[in-house]
Structure 1
Amino acid sequence: MHTLFSTILAAILLLSANVTLAASAISVLGKDYLFPNRIAGLPAKLSDFKDLQINTFKTSDGVKLAYWEAGRGRPLIFIPGWSSNGAEYINVIYLLSKQYHVYVLDLRNQGLSQRVEYGNRIARYAMDVKELATHLGLATADYCGWSMGASIMWSYMDLFGTNGIRKFVGIDEPVSIYSHADWPERERLDAGGMTTSPERMIAAFTKGTPANSLIVDMKVMERFTVMDSPYYQNSIGFAGTFIQNDPHYLSLVLFDHVMNDWRDVIRQKINVPTAIFTGEYSNNVPSQRWMQSVIPGAILFVYSKAEQGDHFLVFKNPVKFATDLGSFLEQ
């Protein structure tokens, strides 16, 4: 009997070691937060969003990654862009969690995830996404990649195929950030090329080093600073209170990110229902139209300037985005 009891206890302990206990966001962050703008239909303070959790798991190469989650229903996984995090998705999570089980992964070296000097390649980030799905026990899910998050999902499909992806959404990411010197202008536009010097782009994005538009397209950074949306003010303020980015760690993935050209993957490997989002303020519109032309059945949403149609449309106009995304997912 003693031996049987010991065996059962050991099994229970082993099982519990692999289960992440749910943790409320407010307990993880340590305090409440009052959003600067009171907006009907959204929380006035963090504690109003009682369903929001922040949990963690460890990757196969030993990195502790955080993910934000709320809601019930079909799983919907968001992969943020470079330097972004789950806190910035607070409005989107709240709106979509009424219908879906929403997850937002904090990539390594971003958000609340661990800072490490290794594994800073888009392919490894794609593996992290796959390992998140395994950790959550998800055989299939809808995936939404914004900015660099779209590149991570292209890498995921290149490496693992689309068997675990029900539907895919990509938001305003160039097909190839690096613009080759021998490309004609049409090819540059279709690829979305926005720099001829990865090193200069990295310095501009991480250190604020000046760069002219012939070397680096700075439209993204210009639109980042335009704070004319109360939704955006709330999410940026919330993220800024709890997330401390380190430019050094953020820079580690950028060279690999800039130098990838995803045209072969987009042409040949995306065989699931796909939606693409962009906006009139973005210089990426031609590349997003190219993607729509080569992905069978792809749907393109182009937000107007009045609809906050720039690289940050998800956060500047979350109500419209959540509505459009939901409509696509339910088709």
Structure 2
Amino acid sequence: MPTSLFRAVCVIALALASLHATATPAIEVLGEDFSFPNKVEGLPAKLSDFKGLEINTFVTNDGVKLSYWEAGQGRPLIFIPGWSANGAEYINVIYLLSEHYRVYVLDPRNQGFSQRVEHGTRISRFAMDLKEFSDRLGLQSADYCGWSMGASVLWSYIDLFGTRNIHKVVFVDEPISIYSHADWSEQERSEAGGMTTAPERMIAAFTAGVPTNRLIVDMTAMERYTAKDSPYFVNSEAFANAFVKNDPEYLAMVLFDHATNDWRDVIRHKIDVPTAIFTGEYSNNLPSQRWMQSAIPGAKLFVYSKADQGDHFLMFKNPVKFAADLHGFLADDPI
């Protein structure tokens, strides 16, 4: 074996060994077990029933310590949570999909167990964090799934770094532009998914509970969040709330940048890998998700009915269906 190749193999082996050596069982990080409020067939009754779940960390090039959840074996599948969300909320999704994939959920900066910082609170930096995370894992190809703001992080990632390392990509119920411009036609607003005419007032409503109305911001997603009408959702929310304490002041920092980005050019011109889009009949994002499907060649659209919990939180309220549909899309590789 040539010396240069031997050295490369050694470096890779050491890196993999280092990753394995720093793996930390989730129950050790959390410091205690957790019993889920609802017993659901096919899912853990307690955290300790989920063998192999880990919570690990890495440090970005601007000095921020980010946490990530991982479990399973197989092709890598990376989830990027939405605004204020974290890996704990994905507990059911991770469990179901870890049968087929090595599943990762990256806690964004200022969310979950990741560090609270005042710098880098913009979507482009979150995309860089995702790039560094993928590089840290040494991934040459992976499947990526972004929910809510996580979809915007993926659009920024694709805008900055392209799709070379993306095998398949999935977007779950995110407006292409949250801010609805005053000079847009109703068709443009519908296609972009514009849900607020005043980003500052949207931020106040989301982070401080300031009263608003539908002329200012569409609160459908928040209303559906309060409908604890799924035992899966009650379990994952109870688990997240028991261990994760978000700080509204830090959560608010990214929202203005997030709300005022318009990703239609990325969707029209830069997505050239197999794509799936998930939305539902309860979601006011449905028209924009249909537009996105029309703009991305070959994109597949999954529209969940109201009976299937088809709202902004569909992957958490109906994780069994979501995991099955997602696996079907990811496993469907043409020969």
TM-score, scaled relative to structure 2: 0.94
Could you tell me which amino acid in structure 2 is paired with residue 42 of structure 1? L
The residue aligned with 1:50 is: 51
Which secondary structure does the structure 2 equivalent of 1:305 belong to? coil
Give per-residue Cα distances to partners, 1:151-193, cap 9 Å, x unaligned: 0000000000000100000000000000001111111000000
1:1-331 paired onto structure 2 within 5 Å:
21-331=22-332
Report the Cα offset of residue 20 of structure 1. Answer: 5.9
Contact 1:53 1:70 in 2 (8 A): yes
Residues 13 and 166 of structure 1: CA distance in aligned 2, closer, same or farther (over 3 Å): closer
* Alignment partners' CA distance in 2, 1:74 and 1:98: 11
Report the Cα offset of residue 19 of structure 1. Answer: 7.2
* Alignment partners' CA distance in 2, 1:250 and 1:308: 27
Report the Cα offset of residue 137 of structure 1. Answer: 1.0
Give per-residue Cα distances to partners, 1:36-94, cap 9 Å, x unaligned: 00011000000000110000000010000000000000000000000000000000000
Contact 1:120 1:252 in 2 (8 A): yes
Residues 147 and 14 of structure 1: CA distance in aligned 2, closer, same or farther (over 3 Å): closer
* Alignment partners' CA distance in 1, 2:78 and 2:308: 24
Contact 1:20 1:55 in 2 (8 A): no
The residue aligned with 1:4 is: none
Give per-residue Cα distances to partners, 1:8-59, cap 9 Å, x unaligned: xxxx999988876110000000000000000110000000001100000000
Give per-residue Cα distances to partners, 1:200-225, cap 9 Å, x unaligned: 00000000000110011010110010
* Alignment partners' CA distance in 2, 1:164 and 1:215: 39
Residues 20 and 160 of structure 1: CA distance in aligned 2, closer, same or farther (over 3 Å): farther
RMSD of aligned Cα (Å): 1.5
Which secondary structure does the structure 1 equivalent of 2:307 belong to? helix
* Alignment partners' CA distance in 2, 1:291 and 1:14: 39
Which secondary structure does the structure 1 equivalent of 2:277 belong to? strand
Could you tell me which amino acid in structure 2 is paired with residue 329 of structure 1? L
Gaps of 5+ in 1: 1-11
* Alignment partners' CA distance in 2, 1:20 and 1:131: 20
* Alignment partners' CA distance in 1, 2:282 and 2:98: 29
* Alignment partners' CA distance in 1, 2:56 and 2:14: 20
Could you tell me which amino acid in structure 2 is paired with residue 98 of structure 1? E
* Alignment partners' CA distance in 2, 1:15 and 1:162: 24
* Alignment partners' CA distance in 1, 2:14 and 2:188: 57
Residues 108 and 61 of structure 1: CA distance in aligned 2, closer, same or farther (over 3 Å): same
* Alignment partners' CA distance in 2, 1:89 and 1:323: 15
Residues 310 and 13 of structure 1: CA distance in aligned 2, closer, same or farther (over 3 Å): closer
* Alignment partners' CA distance in 1, 2:325 and 2:245: 31
Could you tell me which amino acid in structure 1 is paired with residue 257 of structure 2? D
* Alignment partners' CA distance in 2, 1:207 and 1:301: 33
Could you tell me which amino acid in structure 1 is paired with residue 84 of structure 2? S
Residues 212 and 20 of structure 1: CA distance in aligned 2, closer, same or farther (over 3 Å): farther
Give per-residue Cα distances to partners, 1:258-291, cap 9 Å, x unaligned: 0000000000000000000000000000000000
Could you tell me which amino acid in structure 2 is paired with residue 276 of structure 1? I
TM-score, scaled relative to structure 1: 0.95
Contact 1:20 1:56 in 2 (8 A): no
Contact 1:20 1:57 in 2 (8 A): no
Could you tell me which amino acid in structure 2 is paired with residue 56 of structure 1? T
* Alignment partners' CA distance in 1, 2:18 and 2:325: 40
Which secondary structure does the structure 1 equivalent of 2:69 belong to? strand
Contact 1:82 1:149 in 2 (8 A): yes
Could you tell me which amino acid in structure 2 is paired with residue 113 of structure 1? S
Report the Cα offset of residue 297 of structure 1. Answer: 0.1
Contact 1:197 1:216 in 2 (8 A): yes
Report the Cα offset of residue 140 of structure 1. Answer: 1.0
Residues 293 and 15 of structure 1: CA distance in aligned 2, closer, same or farther (over 3 Å): closer
* Alignment partners' CA distance in 2, 1:219 and 1:210: 14
The residue aligned with 1:8 is: none
